[in-house]
C-alpha cells in the first residue's frame, strides 16, 4: 500500500474512533468495530484534532 494512502486511512480511522467515542461507544466496542487495539483507540480518543490530522510516524529515511 502506498505511504500516502496508508497515512490517509490511519487519519480517517482516528477520526472515526473519536466520533464513535463521542456518541458514547465503549473503547472495546470502537476497537472491535475498527479492527484496532483498545490501546490505540484510547490514545486516539485523547488526541487533539491537530494531532489526529498529522501522522508523524515513519519519518524520512536515510
Note the pLDDT tens digit of each residue in 34-56.
Answer: 999 999 999 999 999 999 888 66
Residue 54 CB: number of other CB atoms within 10 A?
Answer: 10
In a domain, residue 59? The reply is no
In a domain, residue 57? The reply is no
Supply the mean pLDDT for the chain.
88
Q: Structurally, how many domains does the chain consist of?
A: 1
Instruction: For residue 21, give its domain range.
Output: 3-52
In a domain, residue 16? The reply is yes
Per-residue confidence band for 59, with pLDDT thresholds at 50, 70 and 90: low
Assessment of whether the complete model's pTM goes beyond 0.85? no
Give the CATH number of the domain where residue 27 resides.
Answer: 1.10.10
In a domain, residue 26? The reply is yes
In a domain, residue 47? The reply is yes
Burial code of 17-52, b = ≥16 C-beta within 10 A, e = fewer? bbebbeeebebeebbeebebeeebbeebeeeeeeeb
Amino acid at each position: 500500500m502506498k505511504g500516502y494512502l496508508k497515512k490517509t486511512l490511519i487519519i480517517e480511522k482516528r477520526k472515526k474512533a473519536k466520533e464513535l467515542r463521542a456518541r458514547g461507544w465503549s473503547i472495546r466496542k470502537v476497537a472491535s468495530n475498527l479492527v484496532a487495539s483498545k490501546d490505540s483507540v484510547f490514545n486516539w480518543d485523547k488526541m487533539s484534532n491537530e494531532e489526529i490530522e498529522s501522522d508523524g510516524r515513519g519519518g524520512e529515511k536515510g
